[in-house]
Structure 1
């Protein structure tokens, strides 16, 4: 994997409404198409520091652990992130201190659907994985004033002004079906007394992390949008997703974990080259596009997809997607095409 493709943190959402909530809190996220999937990238500066994270936002486009496992495995292979965070909305388990719009953080992720069918009924065979202990510890000590008073958080749909959403830590169960009955949650609580929520992507995400060679840190933070019962509705989804996004992005600003490149600094502002500059440079570069591709270590499989006669344009867009156009001057000088540098201006 080329260094320019690396990402420190991948934020995973199942639905577009969850992804859009995250994007609201990031600084100028760039849309990037990669391997038939659209992702967004942004640089997130740490508070009181010149360092920060390169963040990738990955939307699965649907629910389910199989989809989550496949997509997160690909993201780990492509980007080698230090952290995976699953966020969005989830069904909560009612408790005396929990209300709609609160957050749940999964310390333990438990699958409840596997089992053995017998003459006397179904014998449950639970599967369990854990979030990364260090991230859980940092999340437990993350103060409310660092995120809960963010002025960008949207209004509660019930019109109330509860001071701040609460963050609850415990067991989250996963399955492949949306729960909307009065039986399932009470039955699960008998086996898992610390149960706080239910959702459909956490185990697939955690399993992809567990099975990877690099084993990035992983945590799940979601907003409670319903109680997984007969009263399910869409009313609280937007707010729950927004609160979760506010928490996650502000949590990352606190620099909770060292990234793969501990000295990563904010990338340069992308130069604003005109379309005319692009046309003139590409016309004159001609067959030297191969040297330029070699300089930037563009993989062979990427080059094979270049449209014949438009290779320079493809390289330009490849660099633009990665905020690397500022490197063109040095590249042109290195391949002995200094005559083209003047086209880029000062």
Structure 2
């Protein structure tokens, strides 16, 4: 939609301008015409709507009831250009019957606008206005925005303490101020032999798939990263994982999706709809190579300066199930294994939301991966003994992938 704003306190002149617009532009051009009679009402419109073309009288009232002033149009332009509340129009056409004002305005705006002398004795001004409008609209309709990658990696966490480990791994970490978004984002980078890997990171306001999907959508839209990564903690499957192991979600699904029914015996039964989302095969292959790096795995455990488990640190890749609630019931985990995916290695609350949002993101689409480290086994023994260690190991795996395995060209 192309928005045109007429700012003029003369009703007859406004009518003629509107007739000029409608005579050369049709509804098929997706044109919306607004009008105002003073500076105040023009700013009110521009505060809520982006104006592409503004047709401006120069001898203009600040408030209509106070009458027109010589520099009304100039004062409006001055405020629009100095305030972040308004988007400055793509085109400004001054349409005045006072040549001396037009000259002053021309000098003030450094000839960046179109100037047309309005003369009631002939239609030359209308012919000139029509020609200019046609050129301006043709240019605006051909204004194609090509989205390109802005950041190398976006990292999403579910909890603030998980975010802190990501921030500690980065250089020059600082908060970003985003227009129209009060959420907290942080920017930093890795420096690998002079090559800068730009990273943006944040954590959601709450746990769960809805929150993680929303956060992923926002960060992709605002920062256009090549990779989307989720780090954090998960509950592991006993016998397949150990405390602190980093589990890469080769694919994920919502274990609660489907239909709840009563079986023939009158017992509750859940019939799941399994809709898996897989990571890119190239990323999966990079993880497989990393799994063979025994020196790296030893260094991860040795470098942590707090409590660590007795077992060695491993990088595991397999299916991770996401659900709407924290599980402290091993029977529930076994039910997912028996009736959904028997190769399950971990269970948590966010990964499927991240994968879904990234898969269906606007172009250019990012590749995505989740790295969740094990801090419990979804049973009654759940505690925070290895929460810090798990948060740390997931970030170390991400850092290794970002520095040595991800491709940025």
Q: Same fold (TM over 0.5)?
A: yes
Q: Which residue of 1 aligns with 2:72?
A: none
Closer, same or farther: CA 11–147 of 1 in aligned 2, 3 Å: farther
Q: Is 1:230 the counterpart of 2:399 in the alignment? A: no
Query: Is 1:28 aligned to 2:178, yes or no?
Result: no
**Deviation sequence 1:124-162 (CA, Å, 0-9, x none):** 22221111221111111022434641564333345x4x4
Report the Cα distance in structure 2 between the residues aligned to 1:14 and 1:2, rounded to whole angstroms.
31
Indicate how the Cα distance of structure 1 residues 89 and 154 shifts in structure 2: closer, same or farther if over 3 A, else same. Answer: farther
Structure 2 residues without counterparts, runs of 5 or longer: 1-144, 264-268
- TM-score, normalised relative to structure 1: 0.68
* Residue deviations 1:162-194 (CA, integer Å, cap 9, x gap): 4x4101111100001111112111111113121
Change (3 A) 1:250 1:40: same
Query: What is the deviation of 1:236?
Result: 1.2
Larger Rg: 2
User: Structure 1: any 5+ residue segments left out of the alignment?
Assistant: 263-346
User: How much does 1:36 deviate?
Assistant: 0.9
Give the distance between the partners of 1:132 and 1:26, measured in 2 at CA. Answer: 25
Q: Aligned to 2:315, which of 164, 167, 171?
A: 167
Q: Secondary structure at the residue paired with 1:39?
A: strand
Please tell me whether residue 149 in structure 1 is matched to residue 295 in structure 2.
no
SS of the equivalent of 2:326 reads coil
Change (3 A) 1:3 1:26: farther
Provide runs of 4+ in structure 1 moved above 4 Å: 1-5
Q: Which residue, out of 237, 243, 246, partners 2:396?
A: 246
Q: Which residue is equivalent to 1:218?
A: 368
**What does 1:1-346 correspond to in 2, within 5 Å?**
6-34=150-178, 35-46=181-192, 49-95=193-239, 98-120=241-263, 121-142=269-290, 143-146=293-296, 148-150=298-300, 152-158=303-309, 160=310, 162=311, 164-190=312-338, 191-213=340-362, 214-258=364-408, 262=409
Q: For 1:149, what is the secondary structure of its paired residue?
A: helix
8 Å CA contact retained: 2:148, 2:224: no
Q: Distance in 1 between matches of 2:146 and 2:259?
A: 46
Q: Please report the RMSD computed on the Cα atoms of aligned residues, expressed in angstroms.
A: 2.2
Q: What SS does the corresponding residue of 1:256 show, helix, strand or coil?
A: coil
Give, in angstroms, the shift of residue 24 of structure 1: 1.7
| CA apart distance, 1:254 | 0.3
Q: Is the 8 A contact 2:152 2:227 kept in 1?
A: yes
Aligned to 2:118: none
TM normalised by structure 2 equals: 0.58
- Residue 245 of structure 1, CA deviation: 0.9
Structure with the bigger percentage of strand: 2
> In 2, Cα distance between the equivalents of 1:140 and 1:125?
29
Give the total of aligned pairs.
253
